[in-house]
Structure 1
Amino acid sequence: MTAIGLGFIGYGIMGDRLLRAALDHDPAVLRTVGVWDPSAEAMARLAANFPGVARLHDPAEVIAAADCVYVASPPASHLEHAHAILGAGKAAFLEKPLAVDVGQAERLVAGAAGARAAVNFPFASSLAVAQLAAWLDEGAVGAPQSLRIEVAFARWPRPWQEDAAGWLARRGQGGFTREVVSHFLFLARRRLGPLTLLAHSVEYPGGDKAEEVIAATLTAGEVPVRLSGRVGGTDKADHNRWTLEGDLGAIRLSDWSVAERRQPDGTWREAADAMPNEKARPLVLKRQLDSVAAMAHGRPHPLATLGEALDVQRVVEAILAG
């Protein structure tokens, strides 16, 4: 098959990460056709970092040049770009959330039936998640009985997100629940079933600043889930755990990329090939891009569907509504 031409709308943190991965990818599978960002500073940074990458003039030019467009802009712009991409008959690879309004996201999903579209939840391509799935399949957990999701941050936004603090630190589009918790809810939904929110609370520091503390109980399929998140209480920039308990054992994912299995003596043992997120991320992004190419060709792929992303967004926005 011919290589997929991938265009980029947005050159922030995620745009830069995926662009670097795309430029390192097999050119017979994927080629980069160009990037657009409304920020002159971002485009100057692109020119300095990758002078050979085409700097396009607007989203329409990206869409016209590409077979598939990756939308890595702030959330308030996702809906407009998604409609334009799908309306042009191109494939869309979208950042979450689908929109800042759940009703608008629902209308997008309803109108996109049959479209080539997916959402960038990298756990769909995670090596650590693949290890968790293998343990589940071999019966290490037995019948799942409960799931615990915990996230904590020394401060928010995290140090590498300071350039995007203008929206990440605000209630309208940002906050750690949309940015981080959504990934772990996606994993719960993918592995255990649709999400149903039962109870929830949120604490805001005042003004239009993003949340500082959340707590929720929900179900994923038939499995009870307890969720907690906070800014503070850890000296780590980003600490998280996804722990699944069953009648025969327990497994967990720690700090994005480390699969662990509880031993008979109660201690936790890492998978033999476990690696820190900084080392795992390039491998995961390569797998994501292989799947993006498959999606754009209309072939089966494991990427998050629009429906899965919408299910996650409903829960996230309900928690943030208080």
Structure 2
Amino acid sequence: MALLSLGIVGFGVMGERLVRMAFPHPEMRLAGVWDPSPEAVARLSAAAPGVPMLPGAEAVIAACDVLYVAAPPAAHIPLARAALAAGRAVLLEKPLATGLAEAEAFVAEAEAAGARAAVNFPMASSPAVAQLDRWRQEGTVGAPRRLEIATDFGRWPRGWQNDAAGWLARRAEGGFTREVVSHFLFLTRRQLGPLALQSARVTYPAGDGAETAIEAELTAGGVPVSLRGSVGRIAEDEANSWTLTGEAGAIRLRNWSLAEQLEKDGEWRQAAGALSNDAMRPMVLRGQLEKLAALARGGQHSLATLREALEVQQVVEAVLRG
């Protein structure tokens, strides 16, 4: 089967990670990249020698079968619309847009057209999440009773995101709720069912800076969910956990990649073969590309749908409104 050609618009952290960690890939080749930053040319040359930095987004769309939109949020839907109109499959970063009305209109038109489009929530390909699924199927948790989500950051943006601080640190497009909490809400939606926000409190700094703390109560498929997040309360760069407690026991996902089970002695035990997030990331990204190839060829896949991403964004924006 012929390799599919992948084009990338936006060569920041996410685009560069995909190139460095997921290629060579048995189903895809890189057709070209575009990013307006002069520094991106040197980074692309180092990450993928021979892959061209094309003159614009239109050139990338023309050169590819599948477009990965890794640009800032305001560009997501315009680029996706252009690629879909040209007959390309599309993988978007989240959030779908900076405004809910634009996101809702896009999802409705894309669904009506049967568009080949999905959103990059990597937990769809996480081995740690697959372990959580196995534990639940084995009866480790039983009927879910409650879920707790915690996300804490030493600073925001995180150190490795400094190049994108111009928008990630701002209230209009950035913040940890959109950037990080959305992943755990996607996981919650997949595991438990539809999300419904009950209450929320949010703390903002003076000016136009992104949130520094959130607290929220939700339900997911009727299961109570508590959510909290903060900036500046911990010394390390980041710590997060997703903890599901049921009638039979408890399991959690900690720091993105560590699947853990609560033992009878009250201690948490990691799954056999657990990997750090850095070690697991290449496996996850290659899995995402495998699913993206299936999407592009019209096959079955488990990537996040546009509808799932929209439902997550609706909850995120409701939390940020407090």
Query: Bigger shift: 157-166 or 45-54?
Result: 45-54
Residue 110 of structure 2 is aligned to residue 112 of structure 1: yes
TM-aligned CA deviation for residue 76 of structure 1:
1.1
Query: Bigger shift: 231-240 or 100-109?
Result: 231-240
Paired position in structure 2 for 1:161: 161
Structure 1 runs not aligned, ≥5 long: none
Q: Matches of residues 298-309 of structure 1 in structure 2 within 5 Å? A: 298-309=298-309
Aligned partner of 2:304: which letter?
Answer: A
Paired position in structure 1 for 2:73: 75
Paired position in structure 2 for 1:44: 42
Paired position in structure 2 for 1:13: 13
Contact 1:22 1:32 in 2 (8 A): no
Aligned partner of 1:71: which letter?
Answer: V
* Residues 281, 48 of structure 1: alpha-carbon distance in 2 compared, 3 angstrom cutoff: closer
Aligned partner of 1:235: which letter?
Answer: A
Paired position in structure 1 for 2:122: 122
Q: Matches of residues 61-210 of structure 1 in structure 2 within 5 Å? A: 61-113=59-111, 114-210=114-210
Contact 2:20 2:48 in 1 (8 A): no
Deviations 1:168-197 (A, max 9, x none): 111111100000000000000011111111
Contact 1:33 1:53 in 2 (8 A): yes
Contact 1:35 1:56 in 2 (8 A): yes
Aligned partner of 1:63: which letter?
Answer: I
Query: Bigger shift: 117-126 or 12-21?
Result: 12-21
TM-aligned CA deviation for residue 40 of structure 1:
2.0
Deviations 1:136-162 (A, max 9, x none): 011110000100000000111101001
Which secondary structure does the structure 2 equivalent of 1:253 belong to?
strand
Which secondary structure does the structure 1 equivalent of 2:23 belong to?
helix
Aligned partner of 1:218: which letter?
Answer: L
Q: How many residue pairs end up in the alignment?
A: 320
Residue 304 of structure 2 is aligned to residue 290 of structure 1: no
Q: Distance in 2 between matches of 1:85 and 1:293?
A: 16
Contact 1:75 1:96 in 2 (8 A): yes
Q: TM-score, normalised by structure 2?
A: 0.97
Contact 2:20 2:47 in 1 (8 A): no
Contact 2:77 2:96 in 1 (8 A): yes
2:31 to 30, 33, 51: 33
Q: Identity of aligned pairs, percent?
A: 59
Q: Matches of residues 196-275 of structure 1 in structure 2 within 5 Å? A: 196-275=196-275
Contact 1:149 1:228 in 2 (8 A): yes
Aligned partner of 2:214: which letter?
Answer: I
Aligned partner of 1:213: which letter?
Answer: A
Paired position in structure 2 for 1:317: 317
Which secondary structure does the structure 1 equivalent of 2:152 belong to?
strand
TM-aligned CA deviation for residue 129 of structure 1:
0.2
TM-aligned CA deviation for residue 321 of structure 1:
1.8
Aligned partner of 1:180: which letter?
Answer: V
Q: TM-score, normalised by structure 1?
A: 0.97
Structure 2 runs not aligned, ≥5 long: none
Query: Bigger shift: 45-54 or 204-213?
Result: 45-54
TM-aligned CA deviation for residue 51 of structure 1:
3.0
Contact 2:22 2:282 in 1 (8 A): no
Q: Distance in 2 between matches of 1:21 and 1:89?
A: 27
Q: Distance in 2 between matches of 1:264 and 1:45?
A: 49
Q: Distance in 2 between matches of 1:224 and 1:89?
A: 42
Q: Distance in 1 between matches of 2:234 and 2:275?
A: 21
Query: Bigger shift: 15-24 or 154-163?
Result: 15-24
Deviations 1:268-310 (A, max 9, x none): 1000111110101111111111111111111100100000000
Contact 1:91 1:296 in 2 (8 A): yes
Contact 2:8 2:69 in 1 (8 A): yes
Aligned partner of 2:45: which letter?
Answer: A
Which secondary structure does the structure 2 equivalent of 1:24 belong to?
coil
Which secondary structure does the structure 1 equivalent of 2:208 belong to?
coil
TM-aligned CA deviation for residue 47 of structure 1:
2.8
Which secondary structure does the structure 1 equivalent of 2:2 belong to?
coil
